[in-house]
Amino acid sequence: MGVTVDVHQVYKYPFEQVVASFLRKYPNPMDKNVISVKIVEEKRDVSTGIIYRKRIAVCQNVVPEILRKVSILKVPSIQLEEESWLNPQERNMAIRSHCLTWTQYASMKEESVFRESMENPNWTEFIQRGRISITGAGFLNCILETFASTFLRQGAQKLLVVNSCGFQTLFLWELRLP
């Protein structure tokens, strides 16, 4: 089956400011779910100026305690891998992320784009599509997908709370800082 979440948001801030906020937003005291984010690879293509980054995020396990009675779900943290391609000349950044935990039972993938808004060049458009599919957990597949759906939709609606362990959510409060 699977659960899909789509987000489209326009931030009334310049592309450079939004991307800088996205890249430094975690960890922070306002979101305890993201424990750490580590850059494991970074390189710049000298011919195009595109900056490639690969980061690993460690997040608290947000699966409800009742479901963690199942041994495969009883892990203290979840790891996500994020790859991004920042093109400063064209003012866009593409991002792909996926879950490294529970890969034999679940698939979590997100694809996002930050780009200069067509409406106003001083604004930034954010488009995200995420999908979670649970397999191999028997009767728990549907329960876990329902939980994941609720979790993703809450994050997508608020855009200030965690979305797939918080890895792709932009904190607007940071944009307002001087």
pLDDT value of residue 82? 93
69-82 as b/e: b if 16+ CB within 10 A: eeeebeeeebbbeb
What is the percent of the chain where pLDDT is above 90? 32
pLDDT value of residue 154? 54
| 10, 119 contact by CB (below 8 A) | yes
Tokens of 67: 């479901």
Superfamily (CATH) of domain 2-161? START domain (3.30.530.20)
Query: Residue 27: how many CB atoms within 10 A of its CB?
Result: 16
Peptide bond before 76: cis, by omega within 30 degrees of 0?
A: no
pLDDT value of residue 150? 65
Residue-level pLDDT, tens digit, the chain, 178 residues: 677 878 888 988 899 988 988 888 777 777 677 889 999 999 999 999 999 999 998 988 877 777 777 777 788 888 989 999 999 999 999 999 888 887 777 778 889 999 999 999 999 999 988 887 777 666 667 777 776 666 655 554 443 333 333 333 444 434 443 3
pLDDT value of residue 109? 85
pLDDT value of residue 158? 41
Give which of 91, 115, 94, 128 is closest to 8, Cα–Cα.
128
pLDDT value of residue 107? 79
pLDDT value of residue 152? 59
Cα 168 to its chain centre, rounded Å, is 2
Distance between first and last Cα of the chain: 45
- Computed on alpha carbons and rounded to an integer, the radius of gyration of the chain in Å comes to 17
Separation between Cα atoms, residue 80 and residue 98, nearest integer Å = 6
pLDDT value of residue 78? 84
| 2, 27 contact by CB (below 8 A) | no
